[in-house]
Amino acid sequence: MVAIVGSGLAALAAFATLRHAGVPATGIAVFGTHADPTEVWRERAAAIRQERMRSESDGHLAAASFPGLALRERSLRALVGTATNRYRPSVETFLAHAERVRRRSGWDERFTERRIRSVRAVAGGFELDGDGPFAHVLLATGHPGLARVPGTVHAYEPHEYAAKVAVIGAGMAAATEWRNALAAGAEVVSIRRREPLRRPLNVPREYFSKRGLASFHRLPDVERAAELRRLSAPSYPPGPEWDAHVRVVDAPPPGFQVISATGFRKGFQEDMLLADLVAGHGLDTYDRWIVLSSDSAVPALTDETRTLSISGVAGQWAFPAGDTIAGAKYAARAFTRRVCRTRS
Ligand SMILES: Cc1cc2nc3c(=O)[nH]c(=O)nc-3n(C[C@H](O)[C@H](O)[C@H](O)COP(=O)(O)OP(=O)(O)OC[C@H]3O[C@@H](n4cnc5c(N)ncnc54)[C@H](O)[C@@H]3O)c2cc1C
């Protein structure tokens, strides 16, 4: 029996990939907090009025990469754009496709609403809060929560714009909020610890290829952690589309609405389930990361008979862009390979 813990985009990608590889729906249990696997993401994207995906044509949750969203959109503009890495699917296209993946895969029948508090290795696999054992478990619990500045509204929570807006942060969400608030006619100021970095993608394209990834996997722990820290610095794309003329200030001026575009709390220590797992099994960690093998498995708890893997942001040790749809798929495919190997 296979279990997925978590109920977001990464969980659905894993469920669809397992099903595509021939694992019957009845052989998979999903434990999560949201029956709709797009809900958490959708609400955050809606809060910052995101209309286009940050990812490209292959940023969808179906098991096979082909056909991508550009082909599904059936427009010449989309196809030309994808050839030059300029195509960004609409959020609407992405969500409609995710809904189809959810229906076709049988997700709803296998979903149980339940927050899992403990994962323990036992004979035959893993117990989840004492239930099981499950031979193969994928943890896809997402970010451990928003990084909040007290007394402010977070960019990823629903909000309107006042006439005067101060945005804390210097990443993609901050850049989006400057544009949103300016478009709403507000006076906008920016509060930032450092000058924003302008990068097309948070994680360089080379780390999405086998070769680039192999070079990342060869880095000694200290350098790997430094690289992950470097990549997590706030950034947004170059180009006039993203240029916004906002005044930089040290603190919110009186009378300004304050929006925190400060992202998420960071590290396995902030996720109760992962922190408990690490403590309970004495797992290897480095700084804020759980040390994983290159295929996203927890080495000490994975062998030929059982698998414990981690997807999403907590799986960055294996895939630097863990917190993307590409990262969800990387972990999903590697996990499925292990599951299928032990089933044959
Ligand atoms: C606004 C925004 C826009 C983005 N746009 C893109 C984009 O265009 N392209 C792209 O590739 N990436 C994008 N990302 C990045 C990434 O795809 C998302 O962060 C995505 O939501 C990650 O999916 P996930 O499943 O890891 O986490 P989540 O979607 O957060 O899902 C985790 C789920 O697991 C549940 N859970 C947590 N702990 C437990 C537990 N102990 N037991 C049971 N359930 C639990 C949570 O409640 C939640 O339902 C975006 C991120 C944001 C915030």
Give the residue whose CA is nearest to atom 47 of ligand 1.
Answer: 33
Q: What is the mean pLDDT of residues 26-52?
A: 97
Determine the residue of 36, 41, 48, 329 to mutate for testing ligand 1's pocket, defined as the one with the most ligand atoms within 8 A of the Cβ atom: 41
Asked whether the predicted pLDDT for residue 104 surpasses 80, the reply is yes
pLDDT surpasses 80 at 73: no
The response to whether residue 10 sits with its C-beta less than 6 Å from ligand 1 reads: yes
What's the whole-model pTM score? 0.96
Q: Convert the pLDDT of each residue in 114-135 to its tens digit.
A: 999 999 999 999 999 999 999 9
pLDDT, tens digit, for every residue of 200-211?
888 888 999 999
Which residue matches tokens 């930032």?
Answer: 192
Mean pLDDT for 163-192 is: 96
The lowest-confidence range among 47-56, 138-147, 237-246 is 237-246
49 lines ligand 1 (CB under 6 A): no
Strand partners for 29: 3
Based on its alpha-carbon atoms, the radius of gyration of the chain, rounded to whole angstroms, reads 20
- DSSP of 272-303, one letter per residue? HHHHHHHHHHT--EETTEE---TTSB-GGG--
Mean pLDDT throughout 123-148?
97
Report whether residue 98 contacts ligand 1, using a CB cutoff of 6 Å: no
pLDDT given for residue 202 in this prediction: 82
Residue found by looking up tokens 């992950």 in the block: 228
Residue 244 C-alpha from the chain's centroid:
26
Closest ligand 1 atom to residue 54 Cα is 8
Query: What residue ranges define each of the domains in the chain, with the CATH number in brackets?
Result: 2-145+265-343 (3.50.50.60), 153-260 (no CATH)
Task: Determine if ligand 1 sits within 6 Å of the CB of residue 273.
Answer: yes
Q: Give the per-residue pLDDT at 86.
A: 76
Question: Would you say the CB of residue 142 lies under 6 angstroms from ligand 1?
Answer: yes
Spatial distance between the Cα atoms of 332 and 326, rounded to a whole number of angstroms: 10
How many beta carbons lie within 10 A of that of residue 109, not counting itself? 10
At 70 the pLDDT is 87
pLDDT of 335 above 70: yes
Measuring from atom 12 of ligand 1, which residue has the nearest CA? 324
In this predicted structure, the answer to whether residue 343 has a pLDDT above a threshold of 70 is no
The count of other CB atoms within 10 Å of the CB of residue 246 is 20
Q: Is the CB of 316 under 6 A from ligand 1?
A: no
User: Using CA atoms in the order 49, 53, 55, 56, what is the torsion angle rounded to 10 degrees?
Assistant: -160
H-helix segments, the chain: 9-20, 39-47, 69-73, 76-83, 91-105, 107-110, 172-183, 210-218, 221-231, 272-281, 325-343
Distances (CA, A) of 165 to 125, 191, 286: 52, 11, 38
Q: Rounded distance, CA 181 to CA 126, Å?
A: 48
CA 141 – ligand 1 centroid, Å: 8
Measured in Å, residue 15 CA sits from the centre of ligand 1 at: 15
Residues 92, 89: Cα–Cα separation, whole Å = 8
- Residue 216 falls in which region: left (phi positive, over 0), alpha (psi -120 to 50) or beta: alpha
Evaluate if residue 106 carries a pLDDT over 60.
Answer: yes
Give the distance (Å) from ligand 1 centre to CA of residue 216. 24
For residue 196, whether the previous peptide bond is cis, meaning omega lies within 30 degrees of 0, is no
Round to whole Å and give the CA distance between 38 and 35.
9
Q: How far is the CA of 322 from the centre of ligand 1 (A)?
A: 10
Average pLDDT, the chain: 95
